């Protein structure tokens, strides 16, 4: 990630709000985006992430606030004059133009000579490893090939910033992983700022320097993928990101190690030094990530344990997510290696124990 400690933002949202009638799609957004970073906007449907991207592209005008590009207010500047190209979810390629002509289109609109625009288009097609498809019709391409054409068309004008609206959502899983590699490599090589909207946690975490989590038109948290995953700042983020188990509880013992009473038991927690200090009687949310939980068939020698009933499993490669039920009926998740689960021989309805370290608990204020 580029050093942003003393850098001026390339893009700034300053108190940006967008209303559609009486509905606020985006509410008082303050966000800085820095040159050369890969920033992902993530959240559930209707959270405002695509509206934010469209306002930056000039396809929507803010109801309130200012958007600045390199220090210049751009609220009223037409999208064609912003140099903020977008790669669409639908790709929006022109079916009546071949591959090369699609890539040349933006250059043609800028009055670049036919010879220069053809050379630049071919350079980008070669860079994206599809130069041999230059004269092919768009309808003869695979999904992955079309995606590369859309990228070449957006990058051929050499913009400072590229906007991407769920560009991989229509691709097969194996192509998604491949295109993630292509996007990451291009962004690092070119030093272009990427602003990427997605529903997919795996996409956002695999490629981005920073992730913005949005909910109901507001920013919930901004941070590195690791920070977002391990240190969510609100219950919403903890629920939305990862496979977290969340218990509401009350502090029953203070100190370096807290004790927290919850509906499923009393647990020990050793919060990080930079976490909020919780006093006796404080209500909080205790977050235990599924991948930090150990499972066994016998009672473990730790205070942090729950008795579970095996419900089902989700197999993804070498990792398995176990879905279980606690004694009070609450859901509980564990992520383990497939071979470790196989060694336990668990069947539907079987009882097992889940445990975790006090240092692996993350605490969030009940009000967050």
Verify that 111 and 203 share a domain, yes or no. yes
Q: Which of 208, 230, 252 is the last residue of a domain?
A: 230
Q: What is the mean pLDDT of the chain?
A: 91
Judge if 266 and 225 occupy the same domain.
no
Same domain for 296 and 182 = no
Instruction: Round to the nearest angstrom and report the end-to-end CA distance of the chain.
Output: 28
Shared domain check, 203 and 175: yes
Q: Are residues 224 and 247 in the same domain?
A: no
Q: Is residue 336 part of a domain?
A: yes
Q: What is the dihedral of CA 327, 329, 331, 333, to 10 degrees?
A: 20
Domain boundary among 230, 257, 281: 230
Q: What is the domain count for the chain? A: 2
pLDDT digits (tens, 9 = 90+) for 296-322: 999 998 889 999 999 999 987 789 999
- Supply the CATH number for residue 287's domain: 2.40.50.100
Is the pLDDT at 342 greater than 60, yes or no? Answer: yes
Q: pLDDT tens, 98-133?
A: 999 999 998 998 899 999 999 999 999 998 889 999
148 touches 130 (CB < 8 A): yes
Q: Which domain holds residue 336?
A: 243-365
Judged against a pLDDT cut of 80, whether residue 368 lies above it is answered with no
Question: Given this model, what pLDDT does residue 302 score?
Answer: 87
Domain boundary among 199, 230, 261: 230
Q: Tens digits of per-residue pLDDT, 146-173?
A: 888 999 999 998 899 999 998 888 777 7
- Beta-strand relationship, 265-269 and 244-253: unpaired
DSSP 140: G
Q: Comparing C-alpha atoms, which of 215, 170, 169, 203 is closest to residue 26?
A: 215
Q: Once rounded to an integer, what is the mean pLDDT over residues 44-63?
A: 95
Q: What is the CATH number of the domain that holds 16?
A: 3.40.50.300
């Amino acid at each position: 990630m580029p050093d942003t400690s003393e850098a001026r933002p390339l893009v700034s949202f300053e108190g940006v709000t967008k209303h559609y009638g009486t509905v606020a799609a985006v509410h008082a957004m303050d966000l800085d985006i820095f040159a050369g970073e890969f920033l992902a906007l993530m959240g559930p449907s209707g959270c405002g992430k695509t509206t934010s991207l469209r306002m930056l592209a000039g396809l929507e005008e803010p109801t309130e606030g200012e958007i600045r590009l390199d220090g210049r207010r751009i609220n009223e500047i037409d999208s064609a004059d912003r140099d903020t190209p977008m790669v669409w979810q639908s790709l929006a390629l022109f079916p009546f133009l071949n591959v090369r002509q699609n890539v040349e289109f933006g250059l043609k609109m800028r009055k670049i000579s036919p010879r220069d625009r053809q050379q630049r288009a071919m350079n980008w097609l070669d860079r994206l490893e599809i130069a041999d498809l230059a004269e092919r019709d768009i309808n003869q391409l695979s999904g992955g090939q079309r995606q590369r054409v859309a990228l070449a068309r957006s990058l051929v004008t050499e913009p400072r910033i590229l906007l991407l609206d769920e560009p991989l959502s229509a691709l097969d899983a194996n192509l998604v992983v491949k295109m993630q590699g292509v996007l990451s490599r291009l962004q690092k090589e070119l030093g272009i700022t990427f602003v990427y909207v997605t529903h997919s946690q795996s996409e956002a975490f695999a490629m981005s320097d920073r992730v913005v989590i949005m909910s109901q038109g507001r920013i919930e948290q901004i941070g590195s993928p690791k920070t977002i995953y391990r240190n969510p700042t609100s219950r919403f983020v903890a629920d939305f990101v990862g496979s977290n188990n969340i218990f509401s509880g009350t502090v029953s013992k203070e100190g370096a190690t807290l004790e927290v009473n919850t509906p499923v038991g009393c647990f020990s927690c050793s919060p990080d030094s930079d976490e909020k200090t919780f006093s006796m009687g404080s209500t909080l949310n205790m977050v235990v990530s599924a991948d930090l939980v150990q499972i066994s068939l016998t009672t473990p020698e730790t205070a942090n344990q729950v008795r579970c009933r095996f419900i089902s499993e989700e197999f993804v490669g070498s990792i398995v997510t176990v879905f279980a039920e606690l004694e009070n009926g609450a859901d509980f998740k564990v992520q383990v290696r497939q071979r470790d689960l196989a060694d336990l021989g668990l069947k539907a309805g079987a009882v097992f124990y889940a445990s975790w370290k006090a240092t692996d608990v993350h605490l969030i204020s009940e009000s967050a």
